Structure 1
């Protein structure tokens, strides 16, 4: 490169100083904006917007909620916690005591409701004292029945409760929740991706500025914009997940941000799982409405029907004779089905005790903290890995478009071409 050429190029640089300095600034903004947009595109919108299947967009994680939930659940069950471990921490007698009051009220309401529905005349003709005796006797046995049912659930928990199915179905049903799992777990990593886009964009922009100073081809800025959009996403992702273990490079020790924050991430992840997914209410609902609901229903029916038969006492022969045996059986079946349908709301009284007893948050956090790097990475990496190429390609495309805008701006704003600019064009550079 001759001194004349260098002098001409520097003269042009000085004449259009602010335009040149805008290149690294713009590059930094492109890196930041493309990275932030790429992150947003992972999570939003929750539902497809546009004309499916091609024209439009749906967040990557909501679109693949089922697959994402299954992948995330592979780390959770059974590696970290099992169905039996959860139920073994619940004392049947304590559960019965916790829900005794709302359950007694439920029995009282149901007895009156069902008798008035099936045999209003008979129920009205029974002396109030007799009616109260029937209800009270059933109520007296209710805590014991609950404890017996809980004992059977504990003994055959794998046959009536599928924890993985419950977690996956909960996340599929609530796409905002699966977003929250990944966003909460990787909140610092997502912030880092945005900031790194700015930092790396500024750095790459300096090289872009130097290149434009000496070679003003129209394709140069769009190409640099594409490279900045691609590189900032790619480098940021690599810095989050690599290296998995601390590595010494000269005076510095480097490690992927995700692994450096393993304890903090473990606490956040465990808290979210315990507060939003593996909750007592969700567990009860999964047991009563899940894939093994028929077995649970049969278990509850056996105990409830037996209690009604045993405690009806003095009124049972009269009731059976008056309404007929088939009708009496139908009444018991109705009682069982309505008890089961109202149980999720009734057992909310046990939430406080059950949450403390199961202690899901502390259990998960402690076990996540000591997970080997490869297993720990599987918690969050699927959110990136599944369509990582798409995020990087989006950043590259946006960077390319900004590069075109830069070229147009340079052509329009450089309204006073200097001697250096003219000379550069005469020798074919630009």
Structure 2
């Protein structure tokens, strides 16, 4: 009897398959598509939208995990970068103050000429006009002659006190929070192959699960079965893909295969991409200068520069200084120097772009970081990019599961509308009769 029941079950399954061949064959492909689509959506949700979209943050809506956690991610990455891989002192020690002064000389001279004229006309136009042209030119010329030495002197003082005037971590975090597309670019560029793998593997694993789903549906049908399988596919394909990217940390032999997390297998290539993006987009000479002048230690830098600029104005005004100080009053003269300092500092970020090419070559940041990143121990290498969004990975997996569940409900509807149950029953009885010798 048990044999007859088993044969009968197989007969009904075979008959069902014959009657609904295309519906059954569609199941692995549908499952593969579910795996692919849910994985791709999970990837997109990591990056987009850049800003919160919805009713009320943080729950009634969504913002890409990486843009939402830009500050935290940048901070975690910096904990590895500074001082493990590079320091503020190492960056500045590679810059020669005299070479910087030489590179910046032409724009600085033009700036001095422009500002001196502006300030004197603004504060005391009658006095400035009354000075002979030769004396005006002499004052400007003397300040211009000293400008390169002053720049070099300021550079030396900044370099000698770099830890008190420049915060590399603050600069990186500020830059990435200000431009969230930048942190998206870093992750998308460095992890492009891994993200492609997540999408493609979703289809392959989904197809495999779909075969088991198809076999199960042949022998047992319940309304909950297809949504349940859809949920499992959406969940498992995301989870497996993430695990295969980051685990195992070190090569491990499993039977004939050597298994290694894809992220670590490509450590050298990822290190190069990551270092290039950091050097080209974030820790650039312009960003460094701006951070020194406008960062958390800006007041110290301003005081340092003011001291040198005021002294230069005093020293080089020569015979005109007593006349100017007496005519406009000492307080007025001091105000003029203060204004000169403020405007020079305000114009410096734009002016010092002249040193970008030299500074980038001298710092050689991309090559330095790449070489140090590629030999970083696996846990530290993973720690640069994964931890900040790891706590929200469950959301991506849950979304995959939910989408899989919805597609499973759609499958139930399709099978109900297009299935051929009466035909299945009739074919199954004929098959059973022939198998047991009754037909």
> Which TM class, normalised by the smaller chain length?
over 0.9
Partner of 1:29: 33
Partner of 2:119: 114
RMSD (Å) for aligned C-alpha atoms: 1.3
Partner of 2:145: 140
State the Cα distance separating 1:417 from its structure 2 match.
Answer: 3.3
Task: State the Cα deviation string for residues 25-71 of structure 1 (Å, max 9, x = none).
Answer: 00000000000001100110011111012321111111122112111
Partner of 1:299: 304
1:255 maps to which of 254, 260, 264: 260
Contact 1:43 1:179 in 2 (8 A): yes
State the Cα distance separating 1:250 from its structure 2 match.
Answer: 2.3
1:13-412 matches, cutoff 5 A: 13-53=17-57, 54-382=59-387, 384-412=389-417
Contact 1:95 1:350 in 2 (8 A): yes
User: Structure 2: how far apart are the matches of 1:161 and 1:372?
Assistant: 28
State the Cα distance separating 1:364 from its structure 2 match.
Answer: 0.3
State the Cα distance separating 1:102 from its structure 2 match.
Answer: 0.3
Contact 2:19 2:424 in 1 (8 A): no
Contact 1:9 1:420 in 2 (8 A): no
User: Structure 2: how far apart are the matches of 1:383 and 1:270?
Assistant: 19
User: Structure 1: how far apart are the matches of 2:60 and 2:167?
Assistant: 38
2:9 maps to which of 5, 15, 25: 5
Contact 1:66 1:172 in 2 (8 A): yes
Partner of 2:433: none
Contact 1:186 1:380 in 2 (8 A): no
State the Cα distance separating 1:422 from its structure 2 match.
Answer: 9.1
2:258 is paired with a residue whose SS is strand
2:95 is paired with a residue whose SS is coil
Task: State the Cα deviation string for residues 254-275 of structure 1 (Å, max 9, x = none).
Answer: 1000000000000000000000
TM-score under structure 2 length normalisation: 0.95
1:248 is paired with a residue whose SS is strand
Task: Give 5+ residue unaligned stretches, structure 2.
Answer: 430-439
Contact 1:161 1:286 in 2 (8 A): yes
Task: State the Cα deviation string for residues 167-214 of structure 1 (Å, max 9, x = none).
Answer: 111111111111112112211111110011011000000000100111
User: Structure 2: how far apart are the matches of 1:131 and 1:91?
Assistant: 33
After TM superposition, where is structure 1 displaced by more than 3 Å over at least 4 residues in a row? 421-424
TM-score under structure 1 length normalisation: 0.97
State the Cα distance separating 1:296 from its structure 2 match.
Answer: 0.3
Contact 1:161 1:290 in 2 (8 A): yes
State the Cα distance separating 1:380 from its structure 2 match.
Answer: 2.0
Contact 1:242 1:255 in 2 (8 A): yes
Contact 1:8 1:421 in 2 (8 A): no
State the Cα distance separating 1:5 from its structure 2 match.
Answer: 1.6
User: Structure 2: how far apart are the matches of 1:206 and 1:231?
Assistant: 15
User: Structure 2: how far apart are the matches of 1:42 and 1:165?
Assistant: 24
2:422 is paired with a residue whose SS is coil
User: Structure 1: how far apart are the matches of 2:255 and 2:393?
Assistant: 31
User: Structure 1: how far apart are the matches of 2:384 and 2:332?
Assistant: 54
Instruction: Report the count of equivalent residues.
Output: 424
1:417 is paired with a residue whose SS is helix
